Structure 1
Amino acid sequence: PTDIPFITTTAIDDFANQCRNYEADFFYAITSREVNELKFPGVVRTYVKLKDGVFTGGNLFILRSEIIDQVLEKASQIVERRKNPLAIASLFGFGLMWRYLTRRLSIAAAEKRFFKVLGIKGKAIISPYAEVGVDVDKPSDLEIAQKYLLDLTL
């Protein structure tokens, strides 16, 4: 079972193939607002405004298994705050939080701070597939999913 019902093997393969281009301990898929809203109009997601664009977290990640114990506590804190980007930014220090608030935070700067705080190399992977960034975990998501499926059958 999954709460990302529109995920495709193409989207997963693209994510995995992009990951192969980098050396990292943790890979996390993100998608742009434009990509999500083009494919799923009206979708409500938590978006983060960065220097590089406006993104939402995807529902795919790869983590080297040998570092799970090292990052488990901080990862739990991040998951608890996942609907509040400012609260997540605060976990990584005032500098990162300030850059986020002033819209000067880049993906590269966030990755660098991620390494300083957690001691592991993280890499955001920008996916061109909206299916990666759209899940169904609230009634409004279900309505959009049903409309999308209905449109596919027409």
Structure 2
Amino acid sequence: MFMGRVQRTYHGRDLRKGRVSEPGTAYLVTTVTRNRQALFRDLQSARILVRSLRAESDNATTLAFVVMPDHLHWLLQLIDGVTLSGLMQRVKSASAHHINRHLQLSGAVWQSGFHDHAVRTEEDLRQLARYVVANPLRAGLVSKVGDYSHWDAIWL
């Protein structure tokens, strides 16, 4: 009898199965750079991504975000008529275009797909935002959250 752990390999296409976009719903989204390249250690590349998030203010309300060296955590609330997949495609496309131009590169910047968690009504959005912005602290990048420059939350 086999009692070991079964390891499952996930693919970007698997992340899209069963995804529903609900206006007014808050989502915690995580997306990763291709091959986990630490592109956002470059200040300008990180700022490009932040500008791409802010450019979507007509489509989503940003509650909190943090740009880590190789990934993004974004707590957002969708506006009516906007799909989560469409929103992420726009952010990833725009940021990739500008990052490639800045770094004089070509090709994919982002891993395909993204992970999303629809925030349940019983979850505390402020607590979730604190968790998001504390990522650099937990990763050992800084000794206090205020020392990290690539995050924001509406409650501050």
Looking at secondary structure, tell me which structure has more helix per residue. 1
**TM-score of the superposed pair, with normalisation by structure 1:** 0.32
TM-score scaled by structure 2? 0.32
Say which structure, 1 or 2, has more relative contact order (CA 8 Å, 6+ apart). 1
